[in-house]
Amino acid sequence: MRKLLFLVLIAGVCWYMVHDKYPNFDINDAVGQFQSELTALKDDPDFSNLIDRLSDDINQLGVQLNESIKQLPQNKEEIKSTLLEKPALSAPSAQIFSIYNIELGDKKAEVEKELGQAKRSTYNEYGVKWYAYHKNYQHFLMVSYDKSNEVVGLYTNQDLISSSKGIKLGTPKDKVLKELGKPMDRLQKGLVYYLLPKERDYDLFLLGDSYTTVFYDKHQKNTVTAIQMIKKDIEREKEDFYTEGNKQLEEGFEYQLFDLTNAARVQHGQPVLTWDSQVKGTAQKHSKDMAVNSFFDHTNLKGQSPFDRMEEDHITYRSAGENIAYGQLSSIFAHEGLMNSLGHRENILKPDFRLLGVGVAFNSESQPYYTENFYTK
């Protein structure tokens, strides 16, 4: 009986497949042929043994599948519980801030003893590298080291901030200003002072031996969303407001913006995006076009939209979107600015997107143009 049911199941599946493709197919003819072939094969012991083994395997597979389904998270709370536990954070011992219990001046060997090897290292605007540490973009932070392998830069946009002043992710801006005092409104480079924009979503503080930038999320009631710390001598070695662009820095900004986007998505409960080299080319060409021809727009000078450009590059998609930014000092400032622009934020956090490519180019004044192209096949 079990063999007969198995064969009937096969016949039923075949019927739906064939009927869908050949609507004039006659089931009576098929059944007649099937019965004739079955009669011829039923006395064949090899065939009979094969059916028995297949039937047993399918039954066993069904049992294993049912058990696996029972082990899957059944609701949002259970899904959250499968995420990595938040690390135990302690107040910094020597400075106002630490990230993942790491402070400026710590040794690289000590950092990697706790965090393991970096997932990626890319050059930044200070002429050193950002080393990105994370576990599938959970517990994401970036660390820079000097030639002595001491920490000279730190950044995170996740809940890894600890402070002797009680400031952490989600702290209101008012409390930050109360604890840290008046922020800087200008930055000195040599004999030149660069005024910071009056309308900005971050505050810059000189705290002891570091320039600390606190970023705010205006869509979350102006609360702390990220922090960057740069050692004072590293900042002052940077001679100009912008860093002269080159291929190395372009690539650094591109991968950093990609990682920052994924870290933000994980922080907001969205799936991680996959890097797509083909659409990265589309994005890079648009950034270079804007930089060379001095315009800033989603529509280029030929009248092509982002979707026109993707189609021109033979990229097919079910959904797609584009973010652009211009003039920000780094990928960090570009990302935080995009997160505070509602339309761009929606692209960054859109649940349906699966692929992302980032392109960066510099104009003749070393100002960077950033393009992010998101899509789903």
Going from the N-terminus, what domains does the chain have, and what CATH number goes with each?
1-72 (no CATH), 97-241 (3.40.33.10), 251-376 (3.40.33.10)
Confidence of residue 31 (pLDDT cuts 50, 70, 90): low
Q: What average pLDDT does the chain have?
A: 86
Signed CA dihedral, 36, 39, 44, 49: sign only: positive
Confidence of residue 94 (pLDDT cuts 50, 70, 90): confident
3-class secondary structure, 355: strand
% of residues, the chain, pLDDT over 70: 78
pLDDT exceeds cutoff 50 at 3 = no
171 with 178: CB under 8 angstroms? no
Q: Tens digit of pLDDT for each residue in 149-162?
A: 999 999 999 999 99
> Which pLDDT score is estimated for 235?
95
| Residues whose CB is less than 8 angstroms from the CB of residue 164 and which lie 6 or more positions away in sequence, other chains included | 91, 92, 95, 96
> Which pLDDT score is estimated for 168?
97
Q: Which residue has the higher pLDDT, 136 or 73?
A: 136
Confidence of residue 50 (pLDDT cuts 50, 70, 90): low
> Which pLDDT score is estimated for 22?
47
Q: What share of the chain is helix, strand, coil (3-state, %, to 5)?
A: 40, 25, 35
Q: Give the number of other Cβ atoms within 10 Å of residue 377's Cβ.
A: 11
What are the start-end ranges of the E strands in the chain? 97-99, 120-123, 129-135, 138-145, 151-156, 161-163, 186-189, 192-195, 202-207, 210-217, 223-231, 274-275, 319-326, 355-362, 368-376
Q: Tens digit of pLDDT for each residue in 225-282?
A: 999 999 999 999 998 999 999 999 999 999 999 999 999 999 999 999 999 999 999 9
| Number of residues written out for the chain | 377
Confidence of residue 86 (pLDDT cuts 50, 70, 90): confident
pLDDT exceeds cutoff 50 at 98 = yes
Spatial separation of the C-alpha atoms in residues 37 and 122, rounded to whole Å: 65
Q: Which residue has the higher pLDDT, 47 or 177?
A: 177
**For residue 214, how many C-alpha atoms fall within 13 Å in the half-sphere facing its CB?**
30
pLDDT exceeds cutoff 60 at 41 = no
Which one-letter amino acid corresponds to residue 51?
A: I
| Residues whose CB is less than 8 angstroms from the CB of residue 354 and which lie 6 or more positions away in sequence, other chains included | 271, 273, 274, 375, 376, 377
> Which pLDDT score is estimated for 13?
42
Pair of tokens at residue 146: 């000097």
What is the residue whose two structure tokens read 């211009």?
326
> Which pLDDT score is estimated for 58?
61
